[in-house]
A and B are shown apart, each in its own frame.
Chain A
Amino acid sequence: MSVALPAFPLPEPTPEPEGVPLCDVAPGAAGVIESVDAAAAIAGRLLDLGFVPGTAVRVIRRAPLGDPVVYELRGYRICLRRSEASHILVRPA
Chain B
Amino acid sequence: MSDAALAAPVRLGLLGSPNSGKTTLFNALTGLRAKVANYPGVTVDHREGVIDAAGRRIAIIDLPGTYSLSALSPDEAVVSRVLDGELDDAPDALAVVADACTLERSLLFLAQVLRRGTPTCLVLTMTDELHARGGSLDLPRLERALGIPVLGVVGHRGLGLDRLRELLAAPEQWARPHLLPPEDARARADWAGSILDSVMATRPRMSRSTEALDRIVLHPVAGTLLFAAVMVFFFQLIFAWAGPAMDLIDAGIGAASAEVRATLPPGLLSDFLADGLIAGVGSVVIFLPQIVLLFGLLHFLDGFGYMARAAFVIDRLMGRIGLEGRSFVSLLSSYACAVPGIMAARTIPSPRNRLVTILVAPLMTCSARLPVYTLLIGAFVPATAVAGPIGLQGLTLMGLYLLGAVSAMGAAAILKRSILAGEQLPFYMELPPYRLPTLRLWTMQVASSAWAFLRRAGTIILTVSMVLWVLLTFPRGEPPASLPADAAASYRLEHSFAGRMGHAIEPVIRPLGFDWKLGVGLVASLAAREVIVATLGQIYAASDEAGSLREAIRNDIDPRTGEPLFTPATVAALLVFFVFALQCMSTLAVMRRETNSWGWPAFAFGYLLLLAYGMSFATHSLVTALSA
Contact = CB atoms under 8 A, between A and B. Distances in A.
Interface of A: 41-42, 44-50, 52-55, 60-61, 63-68, 70, 72, 74-81, 83-84
Closest 10 CB pairs of A and B: A65-B316, A48-B68, A52-B189, A47-B185, A76-B102, A74-B104, A64-B220, A77-B431, A42-B426, A64-B224
A84 B72 contact: no
A42 to B, nearest CB: 5
Nearest to A52: B189
Given A55-B189, A79-B312, A45 B68 contact: yes
Interface residues of B, number: 42
Contacts of A47: 185, 189
B426 A46 contact: yes
Interface string B410-430: 000000000000001111111
A50 B101 CA distance: 15
B105 A74 contact: yes
**Majority SS of interface residues in chain A?**
mixed
A47 B431 CA distance: 18
A45 B430 contact: no
B218 interface: yes
B237 interface: no
Given A48-B67, A50-B189, A81 B427 contact: yes
Contacts of B103: 75
B218 to A, nearest CB: 6
Contacts of A48: 67-68, 70, 108-109, 112, 185
A21 to B, nearest CB: 15
B426 A45 contact: yes
Interface in B185-199: 185-186, 188-190
B371 interface: no
A15 B430 CA distance: 34
Given A50-B104, A67-B316, A68-B316, A78 B430 contact: yes
Given A45-B70, A53-B186, 10 more contacts: A41-B70, A45-B68, A46-B428, A49-B67, A50-B108, A52-B188, A65-B317, A74-B102, A75-B104, A78-B428
Contacts of A83: 424, 427
Interface string B262-292: 0000000000000000000000000000000
B457 to A, nearest CB: 34
A75 B425 CA distance: 25
B206 A72 contact: yes
A78 B186 contact: no
B428 A49 contact: yes
A46 B68 CA distance: 10
B203 interface: yes
Nearest to B185: A47
A78 B185 CA distance: 19
B22 to A, nearest CB: 16
A49 B185 contact: no
Contacts of B325: 68
Contacts of A72: 206
